[in-house]
Amino acid sequence: MAEKVNNFPPLPKFIPLKPCFYQDFEADIPPQHLSMTKRLYYLWMLNSVTLAVNLVGCLAWLIGGGGATNFGLAFLWLILFTPCSYVCWFRPIYKAFKTDSSFSFMAFFFTFMAQLVISIIQAVGIPGWGVCGWIATISFFGTNVGSAVVMLIPTIMFTVMAIFSFIALSMVHKFYRGSGGSFSKAQEEWTTGAWKNPHVQQAAQNAAVGAAHGAMSQPQPQYSTTPSYTYSNEM
């Protein structure tokens, strides 16, 4: 088997850094989980884009007469939350669907609930927190309408992000409970160390793929030879 080389994030060649993770949806994720895993990846991308747009909104806020603190914090949130959200909640759910790990599911639930709370706070938009939420945007319409209109774009995006995060959390939780997952199962994985054993992870991945293939193609019973029957003439 060829050695897997880290390929994410895809960095330009002139940057003297190498990718930190290996990511291949088709190779790692069982077919029945592929769609949900990709949707969560797109949600992470939406979160990253929203933070970048928020930086532009805070720049307009600064130009329109707002404080420089918001712009500085917006830049900090962009460079901090973009990689942290990938490592803290997307990688656990990627690993959970890849290896069917209850511990990884629990890690995802814990960190993604924090992500949901953060998204709600960002959508609310407390002034001085470096986010263009509803409170900050609406209150700034009386100061500079042009800047407030620009701030409205990340405000809407934060709101959409909060809604999608709630839907995603509900969908993953429903799937996990429906598949027989539980907190005690995650505790058992932690106690035995199965969550970090690559051989156990590979076995779980193979079992999940095999179960998917078996469900799609169930062979009919076949006879190797023609059965013979003995009839009695006694009444």
Mind listing the pLDDT tens digit of every residue in the chain (235 residues)?
A: 567 889 899 888 888 888 999 999 999 999 999 999 999 999 999 999 999 999 999 999 999 998 899 999 999 999 999 999 999 999 999 999 998 888 899 999 999 999 999 999 999 999 999 999 999 999 999 999 999 999 999 999 999 999 999 999 999 999 988 876 555 665 566 566 554 555 445 544 554 444 444 444 545 444 444 444 444 444 4
Is 229 buried (19+), middle (13-18) or exposed (0-12) by CB count in 10 A? exposed
Please give the model's pTM, rounded to 2 decimal places.
0.78
> Is the CB of residue 40 less than 8 Å from the CB of residue 168?
yes
Name the phi and psi angles at 100, rounded to 5: 55, 50
